[in-house]
Structure 1
Amino acid sequence: MNYDFKAFDGQVAAAREWLGKEYRGLRTGRAAPALLDGISVSAYGSMMPLKQVANVGVEDARTLRVQPFDAALLKDVERAISAANLGVGTSSDGAIARVSFPELSAERRIQLVKLAKGKLEEARTTVRIARDEAWKDIQEKERKGELTEDDKYNLKEELQKRVDKGNEELEKAFESKEREMTS
């Protein structure tokens, strides 16, 4: 009764990583450098990711400090951040841009929680699809005679345990993000 769950485990891990990445992009009222990851800056005649032209750091709970490697790019960096429509304020002192994140309203927090829940459901769907693929593979191996019927049902139980564990990890990530967004 040996069945290789590597493909299934890989898909669950990918769903978990995807959810984590999506959650890092959700603004929670706290400044995090990851919130600026998707921004591209017009520099040296081409579009470049912000992190390739500037150092981004946290100044305080609601402010990020963006220091371009080349001071001549400061205005371009500010323009790119403003164009990203993140709902943030930018200011500069000539060498460093500061990105200020306003306090989130209660209404916006509710919207963010709904969005996070939607992302959780997408990740769960990925786990369900992976489960269905693994189950079809197990059934096919039983039809070919590679597994007994008892093996098939034992593997089904093992598969369900892995699904439950994967969903539990996704739920924990959601609960953590929800606490972060509502506090």
Structure 2
Amino acid sequence: MIKEIISIADEKMEKTINVLQKELASMKAGRATPAMLDKIEVEYYGSITPISQIASISVPESRILQIQPWDKTAIKAIEKAILKSDLGLNPNNDGTVIRLLIPELTEETRKNIVKTIKKTGEETKIAIRSIRRDCNDKIKALKKESDISEDEIKKAEEDIQKRTDNFIKEVDKILEVKEKEVMTV
């Protein structure tokens, strides 16, 4: 039973790390990446659709994103969605493709992005600690329900703490890489 609780905690912490990585991938860092558009959803024939499902996204140059809709009638809707997004980019279209020029980041913008990265990282750490707390609560509840010894409870809590520490170190490494990427001119 304890192993199952720890396994579930591992799974949840791993998912939390994956969410962090997706979140950071969608933040602009001075160079174009298709992941920047992951959060953008387009109103297409009356339904909200992720941009990646109605167009191909490529990076012909390091600071240019090219969006080629499979249906040419979707160009206006894609442009509208990009303008409404928090990316702050101006789409240019030639009737068949949309190009997004990713501007060079100013020092101030870089620092603001790093602040956002740190905030996102801290929220991730809080989520991981919350998973640890829930897991410890479940283990303590097991103690009351069954005949698990105090030593087994202690060992399980230490195991969960060790895993939590490892995941938090992983978050720190991910944040460090992203900060370095953003601050590199």
The TM-score, its normalising length taken from structure 2, stands at: 0.89
Structure 1 residue 120 displacement after superposition: 0.9
Flag the 1:50–1:2 CA change in 2: closer, same or farther, 3 A.
Answer: closer
Q: Which amino acid aligns with 1:119?
A: T
Number of paired residues? 183
Structure 1 residue 27 displacement after superposition: 0.9
Flag the 1:154–1:45 CA change in 2: closer, same or farther, 3 A.
Answer: closer
Which residue of 2 is the match for residue 128 of structure 1? 129
Please give the secondary structure, in 1, of the residue aligned with 2:3.
Answer: coil
Please give the secondary structure, in 2, of the residue aligned with 1:3.
Answer: helix
Structure 1 stretches of 5 or more lacking a match?
none
Deviation readout 1:72-91 (Å, 9 max, x if unpaired):
33233223322324222322
For 1:59 and 1:154, how far apart are their aligned partners in 2?
Answer: 53
Q: Which range moves more in the overlay, 59-68 or 144-153?
A: 144-153
Please give the secondary structure, in 2, of the residue aligned with 1:104.
Answer: coil
Identity rate, percent = 33
For 2:41 and 2:153, how far apart are their aligned partners in 1?
Answer: 51
What root-mean-square deviation, in Å, do the aligned CA atoms of Structure 1 and Structure 2 show? 1.9
Structure 1 segment 9-24 matched on structure 2, within 5 A: 9-24=10-25
Contact 2:40 2:85 in 1 (8 A): yes
Which residue of 2 is the match for residue 88 of structure 1? 89
Q: Which amino acid aligns with 1:143?
A: K
Q: Which amino acid aligns with 1:114?
A: K
The TM-score, its normalising length taken from structure 1, stands at: 0.90
Please give the secondary structure, in 1, of the residue aligned with 2:100.
Answer: strand
Flag the 1:8–1:48 CA change in 2: closer, same or farther, 3 A.
Answer: closer
Which residue of 2 is the match for residue 56 of structure 1? 57
For 1:25 and 1:100, how far apart are their aligned partners in 2?
Answer: 16
Q: Which amino acid aligns with 2:27?
A: L
Stretches of 4+ aligned residues off by more than 6 angstroms: none
For 1:25 and 1:31, how far apart are their aligned partners in 2?
Answer: 10
Structure 1 residue 181 displacement after superposition: 0.8
